[in-house]
Amino acid sequence: SSSSSPSFPLRVSNPLTLLAADNDDYDEKPREECGVVGIYGDSEASRLCYLALHALQHRGQEGAGIVTVSKDKVLQTITGVGLVSEVFSESKLDQLPGDIAIGHVRYSTAGSSMLKNVQPFVAGYRFGSVGVAHNGNLVNYTKLRADLEENGSIFNTSSDTEVVLHLIAISKARPFFMRIVDACEKLQGAYSMVFVTEDKLVAVRDPHGFRPLVMGRRSNGAVVFASETCALDLIEATYEREVYPGEVLVVDKDGVKCQCLMPHPEPKQCIFEHIYFSLPNSIVFGRSVYESRHVFGEILATESPVDCDVVIAVPDSGVVAALGYAAKAGVAFQQGLIRSHYVGRTFIEPSQKIRDFGVKLKLSPVRGVLEGKRVVVVDDSIVRGTTSSKIVRLLREAGAKEVHMRIASPPIIASCYYGVDTPSSNELISNRMSVDEIRDYIGCDSLAFLSFETLKKHLGEDSRSFCYACFTGDYPVKPTEDKVKRGGDFIDDGLVGGIHNIEGGWVR
Amino acid sequence: AGTYVTNVDEDDKLHEECGVVGIHGDPEASRLSYLALHALQHRGQEGAGIVAANQNGLESITGVGLVSDVFTESKLNNLPGDIAIGHVRYSTSGASMLKNVQPFIASCKLGSLAVAHNGNFVNYKQLKTKLEEMGSIFITSSDTELVLHLIAKSKAKTFLLRVIDACEKLRGAYSMVFVFEDKLIAVRDPFGFRPLVMGRRSNGAVVFASETCALDLIDATYEREVCPGEIVVVDRNHGDSSMFMISHPEQKQCVFEHGYFSQPNSIVFGRSVYETRRMYGEILATVAPVDCDVVIAVPDSGTVAALGYAAKAGVPFQIGLLRSHYAKRTFIEPTQEIRDFAVKVKLSPVRAVLEGKRVVVVDDSIVRGTTSLKIVRMLRDAGAKEVHMRIALPPMIASCYYGVDTPRSQELISSKMSVEAIQKHINCDSLAFLPLDSLKGVYGPVESHRYCYACFTGKYPVTKTESEEADAS
């Protein structure tokens, strides 16, 4: 007898659904939302800017852009969606001659990136052109935008950064840097920004200093600004100092001039730069990120010891704290979880659900390290808790006898309004559950966080210079409105179709 | 501006030249192949392809780039069927050629077949010449195409016998998967140079893959290795069955699969890659100790050996070098030379770990020595007081002809310099390699005979009858 032909059930799904589904795994970590670069006085400013942006790729992977000033004083822009290495090519960089440049990398807070929201932004106004790249978040954006629109301004993007350009344009102050000061006095929230005009590079940091911004110099005298020192390192710029909270630096043919905005009695630098965002080889807020993380791990081992056979990390950002924990505990550190570095933002999955697929795609357990062992797994933070529960399950399925989770930061109970994409407060697991309840939820044998008091004690005299709003709910600048960057904001951006339509839309 | 494009991958590492996947009996075979290929991406990043068998015959999609670049939802929807094979490829030349991306499909008298191959045929040129004299034409520069011709030319009556007939003519390394009609066939050469494992999903689907990490991702349970010289046939009616070609008294599995190529979480040749690599590091600490303050690794592949070294030496392991995971194969560099640019774009030193310290840096191998030189300089520039380099494999003195892209023997620094001379050349304070006898000691007296050490000794299990001509698969 003949057998019937087999049927081939196929999944046909909405790509947006895939994006949304995949986002769940990505939303498990807080997201830095930008890296910025500025270069003055180097004939290859755009190339160096491109390399510096590459070094800051961990701060944003969804969009990148560079603006340069040509010999005839025109601001030229190339921006695109994707990684730095995808957006720029040799021929594109050749279209960006000039010895002044600013650049930006961006992480999108919505499911897909929009080209028009990719910075740097450039605008023409009465006295010339200005470009800006911004890391941070302006908490009074909505009100400022409404006021500006009331007075006749029109907006082309849904980015809060655009209000800065409008404020500069309407300012009556002179010279240029005073317009920037005038604009900044109206802003509330977090901003580390670089501006470029026909002949100047300007760097600004908000009075609280939420987001990092450093200054360096190349051996040819060129001045460089960047979010992190790792960008200076790659382009052989020597780290000189931080841009101070509230400082405005103007670089032109006469050198570097400093001005101060409203001084503030206490800087409020983002502690998460040390916990998670910055690269371990960077110096941020004047301190080594590596040393901070190592100490966080050591403190955890002192505060929350447990009998175990091996210490492992959730790679990559949990590794340094795990090394600190292991060293202090006198237990071997092993690579119990291997991270895949080939995973793109979205991934096609089978319609028959593979359990914990999103985590399995990125993390692989090493059975040889885990089987029969009492395991301490160190991570830098817990946000919603969904990824943590999958990791615990992954470890148990790979043979771990016990799984003890140690988190190298305090519980996150509140959302951030200063440039970090966090879920709203009520989505944060630590906002709703006690430590014991979270432990039960994620299924580990024990759970401990770095204690907030010990974190502050470790920071010593500097402790007052950091923002802890996400651990305490006490905001240095009161959020006066809901979070600006939400998925819904992008619905009416006016761009029809998906990302593939963007390819031909380079802004020039 | 000049036209400076640095090929940042043209550095001191060997490259595996393929990963293969085969799936039989799952309605989503092509999707699962795609995921399994993703898990094997470390075995090749330049091209990927999948062939699925369905009512319309064999359908293929191949492309240049990463798995996630080549395949989309809609493309996979164009590959229905419950049998699929897949391939990832690393190009041995500066640019990838779409025509060389496998799996290859061909039609012959018996019907259509497809093949994906990991390995290299050392008698490719000789067989190609003979086949061309008999009227065959070659469309690719890949040695794998040879197999299709040999199968087509064979006078044996069944497909399986034709495969055996073809394999008996081949010399060198091959782990291959074929799809023909409703059959999936896996073949491994008698020496077992390249890995090939078998697994099963809970729905009964049979999976073959180069490494167990591919099985893990798609929830297939590792069952066993495909044995050297074995041919496994899976079909709808008879399940899986196996037979052996001419058996060979000694297997010659590639020791570099443990030293460098495979993922640490894989089981290769029946052994945990992680545990094996860690043992290399521990032994190195025993045979080549040095007073130091910190042990670091050249990431990522040197990390596990460095952990072994540090544990044995009783010295802290730290992350002294960070690897950028965003560096592509080519990178645009400034015309004003940034010193050691190609290394700097991929590796960053952590000054906090290195400054003022006596550092042991563990790497898995040295090929030409160019990257090692730059790494030592980078570490010193970041403040290291001393730099002691420890290599967790023996010195490589000879090229590989079995599917590993190696420079010619005379380009290998260890084939022309002593350890002391290399130490001076790369400017470290001391240098030591894992001795070959110690490497064999990891496996023990019986198992050690089952590995190929040709790149460390120059003694080839399969006689090298010609220089490598094909783009190995």
Question: Across B46-97, where does the E strand assignment appear?
Answer: 47-54, 57-64, 83-89
Q: Do A85 and B331 touch (CB under 8 A)?
A: yes
Name which of A239, A279, A281, A310 to mutate to probe chain B: the one with the most chain B Cβ atoms within 10 A of its Cβ.
Answer: A281
CB atoms within 10 A of CB B339: 11
Mean pLDDT within A83-104: 91
Mean pLDDT within B49-58: 92
Distances (CA, A) of A411 to A454, A460, B98, B182: 13, 20, 51, 55
Q: Is B314 helix (H, G, I), strand (E, B) or coil?
A: coil
B-chain CB neighbours of A342 within 8 Å are 38, 41-42, 45, 66-68
Picking from A189-198, B45-54, B111-120, B329-338, which range would have the lowest pLDDT averaged per residue?
Answer: B329-338
Q: Do A342 and B81 touch (CB under 8 A)?
A: no
User: How far is Cα B121 from Cα A210, in angstroms, rounded to an integer?
Assistant: 60
The closest CB to that of B348, out of A97, A233, A343, belongs to A233
Enter the tokens of residue B307. 């952990």
Helices (H), A187-333: 229-234, 272, 289-303, 319-329
Res B4: pLDDT: 40
Locate the chain B residue with the closest alpha carbon to A82: B326
Q: Is A91 helix (H, G, I), strand (E, B) or coil?
A: helix
Picking from A245-249, A420-424, A476-480, which range would have the lowest pLDDT averaged per residue?
Answer: A476-480
Name which of B274, B282, B295 to mutate to probe chain A: the one with the most chain A Cβ atoms within 10 A of its Cβ.
Answer: B274
User: How far is Cα B140 from Cα B147, in angstroms, rounded to an integer?
Assistant: 12
* More confident position, A439 or B465: A439
Q: Is A260 helix (H, G, I), strand (E, B) or coil?
A: strand
Q: Do B265 and A280 touch (CB under 8 A)?
A: no
B-chain CB neighbours of A351 within 8 Å are 28, 31
Q: Which of B18, B254, B452, B455 is catalytic?
A: B18
Strand partners, B53: B58, B83
Res A20: pLDDT: 35
Question: Across A21-70, where does the E strand assignment appear?
Answer: 31-32, 34-40, 63-69
Mean pLDDT within B194-219: 94
Distances (CA, A) of B174 to A187, A263, B49: 65, 70, 18
- Position of tokens 């600048």? A477
> Using 50, 70 and 90 to split pLDDT, how confident is the model at A430?
very high
B-chain CB neighbours of A48 within 8 Å are 334
Torsion sign over Cα A65, A71, A75, A76: negative
* More confident position, B442 or A339: B442
Which among A389, A446, A392, A438 has a CA at the least distance from the CA of A412?
A438
Res A505: pLDDT: 30
Name which of A291, A311, A338 to mutate to probe chain B: the one with the most chain B Cβ atoms within 10 A of its Cβ.
Answer: A338
B-chain CB neighbours of A365 within 8 Å are 265
Strands A446-449 and A402-407: parallel
Res A378: pLDDT: 97
> Using 50, 70 and 90 to split pLDDT, how confident is the model at A341?
confident
User: How far is Cα B67 from Cα B239, in angstroms, rounded to an integer?
Assistant: 30
> Using 50, 70 and 90 to split pLDDT, how confident is the model at B381?
very high
Measured in degrees and rounded to the nearest 5, phi and psi for residue A200 equal -135, 150
Q: Do B332 and A89 touch (CB under 8 A)?
A: yes
Res B108: pLDDT: 85
The closest CB to that of A364, out of B1, B265, B344, belongs to B265
Minimum distance, in Å, between the CA of residue A184 and any CA atom of chain B:
34
Which among A43, A98, A59, A109 has a CA at the least distance from the CA of A76?
A98
Locate the chain A residue with the closest alpha carbon to B6: A90
Res B343: pLDDT: 83
User: How far is Cα B313 from Cα B398, in angstroms, rounded to an integer?
Assistant: 31
A-chain CB neighbours of B4 within 8 Å are 90
Q: Is A466 helix (H, G, I), strand (E, B) or coil?
A: strand
The winner for highest mean pLDDT among A457-461, A489-493, B276-280, B329-333 is B276-280
A-chain CB neighbours of B334 within 8 Å are 44, 47-48, 51, 235
CA atoms within 13 A on the CB side of B56: 9
Res A192: pLDDT: 94
Mean pLDDT within B170-186: 91
Cis preceding-peptide flag for B316 (omega within 30 of 0): no
Please say whether the beta carbons of B83 and B135 come within 8 A: no
CA atoms within 13 A on the CB side of B297: 23
Distances (CA, A) of A332 to A309, A374, A375, A394, B317: 7, 12, 10, 20, 10
| CB-count exposure of residue B65 (10 Å: 0-12, 13-18, 19+) | middle
Q: Do A368 and B76 touch (CB under 8 A)?
A: no
Give percent above pLDDT 70 in chain B: 90
* More confident position, B97 or B317: B317
Q: Is A446 helix (H, G, I), strand (E, B) or coil?
A: strand
B-chain CB neighbours of A352 within 8 Å are 28
Residue B246 confidence (pLDDT) above 80: no
Task: Report pLDDT digits (tens) over B224-241.
Answer: 989 999 999 998 777 888
Mean pLDDT of chain B, nearest integer: 87
Type of residue found at B416: K
Interhelix angle A162-170/A141-150, rounded to 10 degrees, is 50
Residue A337 confidence (pLDDT) above 70: yes
Please say whether the beta carbons of B116 and B176 come within 8 A: yes
Q: Do A369 and B274 touch (CB under 8 A)?
A: yes
B-chain CB neighbours of A348 within 8 Å are 31, 34, 71-73, 76
Mean pLDDT within B155-165: 88
- Position of tokens 């050629």? B97
Q: Is A153 helix (H, G, I), strand (E, B) or coil?
A: coil
Name which of A3, A5, A8, A18 to mutate to probe chain B: the one with the most chain B Cβ atoms within 10 A of its Cβ.
Answer: A8
Please say whether the beta carbons of B278 and B264 come within 8 A: no
Q: Do A288 and B352 touch (CB under 8 A)?
A: yes
Run of H or E including A472: helix A469-472
Task: Report pLDDT digits (tens) over B339-368.
Answer: 688 888 879 999 899 999 999 999 999 988
Task: Report pLDDT digits (tens) over A117-131.
Answer: 889 999 988 789 999
Q: Do A57 and B275 touch (CB under 8 A)?
A: no
Q: Do A323 and B218 touch (CB under 8 A)?
A: no
Task: Report pLDDT digits (tens) over A35-75.
Answer: 999 999 999 899 899 999 989 988 988 799 999 999 788 99
Q: Do A350 and B35 touch (CB under 8 A)?
A: yes
The closest CB to that of A334, out of B218, B307, B319, belongs to B307
Task: Report pLDDT digits (tens) over B135-149.
Answer: 888 878 888 888 899
Residue A33 confidence (pLDDT) above 80: no
Minimum distance, in Å, between the CA of residue B458 and any CA atom of chain A:
32
Picking from A15-19, A411-415, B188-192, B444-448, which range would have the lowest pLDDT averaged per residue?
Answer: A15-19
> Using 50, 70 and 90 to split pLDDT, how confident is the model at B250?
low
Run of H or E including A73: none
Residue A156 confidence (pLDDT) above 90: no
Q: Do A279 and B41 touch (CB under 8 A)?
A: no
B108 an active-site residue?
A: no
Radius of gyration of chain A (CA): 24
Picking from A109-113, A138-142, A406-410, which range would have the lowest pLDDT averaged per residue?
Answer: A109-113
Locate the chain A residue with the closest alpha carbon to B42: A342
Per-position b or e across A295-312, b if 16+ CB within 10 A of its CB: bbbbbbbeebbeebbbbb
Residue A229 confidence (pLDDT) above 70: yes
The closest CB to that of A332, out of B3, B311, B327, belongs to B311
Q: Do A361 and B217 touch (CB under 8 A)?
A: yes
Which among A264, A261, A244, A260 has a CA at the least distance from the CA of A185?
A261
B-chain CB neighbours of A360 within 8 Å are 216-217
Residue A493 confidence (pLDDT) above 80: no
> Using 50, 70 and 90 to split pLDDT, how confident is the model at B472?
low
Res A49: pLDDT: 96
Please say whether the beta carbons of B127 and B188 come within 8 A: no
Ordered DSSP codes for B180-224: ETTEEEEEE-TT--S--EEEEETTS-EEEESSHHHHHHTTEEEEE
Locate the chain B residue with the closest alpha carbon to A58: B326
CA dihedral A204, A207, A211, A213 (to 10 degrees): 40
Residue A333 is classified by DSSP as B
Please say whether the beta carbons of B367 and B400 come within 8 A: no
Cis preceding-peptide flag for A489 (omega within 30 of 0): no
B-chain CB neighbours of A236 within 8 Å are 338-339
Locate the chain A residue with the closest alpha carbon to B350: A281
The closest CB to that of B350, out of A10, A54, A290, belongs to A290
Res A499: pLDDT: 37
Q: Do B332 and A12 touch (CB under 8 A)?
A: no
Res A13: pLDDT: 34
